[in-house]
Amino acid sequence: QEQLVESGGGLVQPGGSLRLSCAASGFTFSRYWMYWVRQAPGKGLEFVAGIDNDAYKTSYEDFAKGRFTISRDNAKNSLDLQMNSLQSDDTAVYYCAKDRFTYVPSVRPGTSPKFTDFHSRGQGTQVTVSS
């Protein structure tokens, strides 16, 4: 059974950093693009970052460029998101998500994704940026 489990969320002050992690199981992790997406209260789902199956290519939404870094370790079936210079607008539930297809990305930045655009996602981890 496929499972994605996020961790690492919490309360952080503006300007601070957090590192989110996602543990994947139940599928061949190394075959899929993986993503971080987020949903703030009362808002739609937002693309944050994506990474190809071999960790050679990454993609970021504009707000994440220069502040967030997505990475993966296929040997450990893990996906990470390092977030620096956090702002109050970054407050959201962050989800780890798996592409529907192997080896090619079907979700890109600059779009308004839906949960149904992904094959599966985790339960989410809350990130709150507040002083």
List C-alpha distances in Å: 63 to 1, 3, 35, 126, 130: 34, 28, 15, 18, 18
| Successive 10-residue mean pLDDT values, the chain, 131 residues | 97 98 98 98 96 96 98 98 98 98 94 94 97 95
Q: State residue 3's pLDDT score.
A: 97
Distance CA 95, CA 113 (A): 12
Q: What is the pLDDT of residues 87-105, one digit of tens each?
A: 999 999 999 999 999 999 9
pLDDT of 114: 95
Give pLDDT, residue 66: 97
- Residue 61: per-residue pLDDT: 97
